Amino acid sequence: MTQRIAVGGVLFLVAIGALFSSPTAVWLALAPGVYLLAAGLSRVPSGAELALERTVDPATARPGEPVDVTLTVDNRSESNIADLRVVDPVPDELSVTDGSPRLATPLTAGDTATLNYSVVATRGEYDYEEVTLRARSAFGTDSEDLLISASGDTAIECSGAAEAPVGDTPQLKAGTQVTDKPGEGVEFRSVREYRYGDDVSRIDWRKYAKTGDLATVQYRVERALRYLILVDAREATHLVPEPGYPSGTEASGYAGQLLYDALDDAGHSVSVAAAGVSWTDGASQAGLAWVDESGPANPTDLFETISETDHWTSQTKMSPQSTSKRLRALMRPDTHVLLVSPLPDDWAVSVAQALRANGFRTTAISPELASDQTPGARVSKLERNQRFQTLSRLDIETVRWPRDQPLRASLARSLSEVLGQ
């Protein structure tokens, strides 16, 4: 309709110029007339052959890790496309943090064009739908819409610690603790008088050569440690720092699973508890789920439940006092508590304080939740920093996980100090 009106206007100017013998009117009609003629001849080339390929790096990401996506468009036809618009359909659950999933470019025959963007990984697998393309003529008067499936990577996958690849980040290592108890070991402690039955390999032969007296070398005994990983999965941790980012619950569950894998692989005794989780596979009471070596439940299943906890609201409210009392009844006195929480409120601080006051060594490991995007977020970040200061005054060790750093690297830098190695 618009083009018809424009053509009518041009013909009207030509008629006026001819009727009144006015060259000006004819010239005024000439410019739009040429444009309309060119636009009328401008068409999207038929038979355009476009191929798309998508790459996702890393192929399997960890919660909170940036994922780089590249989409390449290849014009395999012999026709030029004057104006090509491309939209890569980012899954609704993911948030673009850098770049753009949209592209507008001319694409000549045989050439390629790429678009690049980054998203933040959240736990799960997210499939891509077909890519939307629109080819337009040079004057925009003709267009063709296309839906094409991209080859290469067709999904973004984010797994927990158990399935996550190591990549280039440091391995978490947790060894045994050296005690002052004499016995078998590797670190020298003392020399005592030989007793019948002592291992020949422990006899101090140098002293025997000098004095003729038998003596036995004693070493410091190494023993495995007991740990409790307490994950804060209460409703207060369900918040996300920004749309598309993992929630505080998901980040805490991932950190807890990563710690569990490292400690369990090192041969330590590790129990797992989660506050704010209703769980039927293991011991659960008043909103506190519990798994230890004596029970049939699998800690990995509990971490899986934690990752899904932020999709529902628990009706159970646990006070710090009831939580610490319940934990003290379940733990051995020599247990080292690793409390994983984004510290959205004072609950975790109060629990840590109660455990520390009852003689339990306690370490707080906190994934960052607050951002600087809004005044409210800045206030939340300030309050979180104040909670860290309170923990330090209570002689409770802390480990921070910044959002812009991989958790495995953050823990690797702090684990030796935290675990007393």
Please give the pLDDT value at position 308: 76
Of 164, 335, 362, which Cα lies nearest the Cα of 257? 164
Residues whose CB falls within 8 Å of the CB of residue 403, separated by 6 or more in sequence, listed in order: 64, 241, 245, 367, 368, 371
Matching CATH number, 50-158, of 2.160.10.10, 2.40.50.140, 2.60.40.420, 2.60.40.10: 2.60.40.10
pLDDT in tens, 116-152: 999 988 888 899 999 999 988 776 667 788 899 999 9
In the sheet that 288-291 helps form, which strands lie side by side, from edge to edge? 283-285, 288-291, 269-275, 226-232, 335-340, 362-367, 397-401
Confidence band of 81 (pLDDT split at 50, 70, 90):
confident
DSSP string, 160-218: -TTT---TTSPPP---PEEEEEEESEEEEEEEEE--TT--GGGB-HHHHHHHS--EEEE
Locate CATH 3.40.50 in the chain. 226-418
Tokens in use for 244? Answer: 């598309």
pLDDT of amino acid 78: 84
- Please tell me which residue, 318 or 80, carries the higher pLDDT value: 80
CATH class (in words) of the domain with range 226-418: alpha beta
pLDDT confidence of residue 228: 94
Instruction: Identify whether the C-beta of residue 266 lies closer than 8 Å to the C-beta of residue 259.
Output: no
Characterize 375-404 residue by residue with b for buried, 16 or more Cβ atoms within 10 angstroms of its Cβ, and e for exposed.
Answer: eeeeebbeebeebbebbeeeebbbbbbebe
Residue ranges, comma separated, of all CATH 2.60.40.10 domains in the chain are 50-158
* pLDDT class of 285 with cuts at 50, 70, 90: low
pLDDT tens, position by position, 3-60? 555 545 555 555 555 555 556 655 555 555 455 444 444 555 666 789 999 999 998 8
The whole-number pLDDT of residue 126 equals 92
